[in-house]
A = this chain, B = another copy of it.
Amino acid sequence: MNIVVVNGSIVGSNTKAVMEQLVVKFERLENAKVSFINLADYELQFSDGRNYIDYEGDTKFVTETLMKADGIVIGTPIFQASIPGSLKNLFDLLPVDAFRNKVLSIVVTAGSSKHYLVAEQQLKPILSYMKGQVVPSYVFIREVDILRQKIINDDVVFRLDRLVEDTITLIEVYQDIQKKKEDQYDF
């Protein structure tokens, strides 16, 4: 299965550090082919309404990588009580139903626990609108749990491990469901 790990921010190092650890965790799995999209490494255009396949360069590469995924782990900091414009723009570049039959999971890094519900209220409704199958539990990481780009809280490591497991399980489950539905109509 095809996993894409995304850092939705071009600022700061915390979200990037966590997502890189997730890449390592997925790489250890047998069946998973994992790619890392760190938005800071690409020059994306603002969505101008075109279909994603009509862009060129980085914008084309990043959107096509996402469209080919079976599962996407979205990493995001909280800016102004919501997701960064860079991450929202990535969603804008994709079709309305881009996440149909894809499993999505969420990792949030934030300065304060007060931002805990941003993923629930600002991010999940977007993913749900785009038809994604969202892993219900997300991992919320406070800045104090990261020191010099290392996670220093074992509970966070444990929850990231469980997120990897939940993501893989849900992908397998939806591939099973898809297969059953196809078999049903196949004669």
Contact = CB atoms under 8 A, between A and B. Distances in A.
Contacts of A79: 47, 88, 91-92
A131 interface: yes
B136 A128 contact: yes
Nearest to A98: B80
Contacts of A85: 46-47, 85-92
Nearest to A44: B46
Contacts of A114: 113-114, 116-117, 140
Contacts of A86: 46-47, 85, 89
A49 interface: yes
Interface string A111-138: 0111111101110111011111110100
Nearest to A48: B11
Contacts of A46: 10, 85-86, 89
Interface of A: 10-12, 46-49, 79-92, 94, 96, 112-118, 120-122, 124-126, 128-134, 136, 140, 169, 173, 176-177
5 contacts: A11-B47, A79-B92, A113-B116, A114-B117, A122-B122
